[in-house]
Amino acid sequence: MLRKLSKEDRLHLMKFVCSFAWADLEVQDAERKFVDKMASKLGLTDDEKKLVKGWLRVPPPIEEVDPARVPAAHRQLFVDAARETIRADGMVTPDEDEMFQLFVQLVQPGKRSAKRG
């Protein structure tokens, strides 16, 4: 499923993943490893991976991670990736959980995250 995403959708997903890595204002080593693994699973090119590494140094611009722009067909994938990102370091902070819950509400109106953090 991941590799079937268009180039644009893969990069869009990675912007969200990186923004969730920044949710507590600090990117942990475990989160970096998770992001690298996700980039590999997505089959990103070296140039695309450089973009992703840049988003781990400086978060992607907020206007580029607008939940309203998540394609309907990929919403669950984005939610799952966000959940995995905030769990990557083995600890979910209140800020990460709050950001995740808000994201779920915005991309899946009427649904609640059954399992927090």
pLDDT of res. 4: 80
Q: How far apart are the first and last CA of the chain?
A: 24
pLDDT digits (tens, 9 = 90+) for 48-102: 999 999 999 999 999 999 999 999 999 999 999 999 999 999 999 999 999 999 9
Q: Picking from 12-21, 38-47, 76-85, 101-110, which range would have the lowest pLDDT averaged per residue?
A: 101-110
Structural contact between residues 70 and 31, judged by C-beta atoms closer than 8 angstroms: no
CA 108 to chain centre: 15
Q: Rounded distance, CA 61 to CA 42, Å? A: 21
For the chain, list the domains and their CATH numbers.
Answer: 2-107 (1.10.3680)
* Whole-structure pTM value: 0.88
Q: Rounded distance, CA 32 to CA 46, Å? A: 16
Which helix H or strand E contains 31, and what residues bound it?
A: helix 29-41
Q: What would the mean pLDDT of 26-40 be, rounded to a whole number?
A: 95
- In the predicted model, is pLDDT for residue 117 greater than 70? no
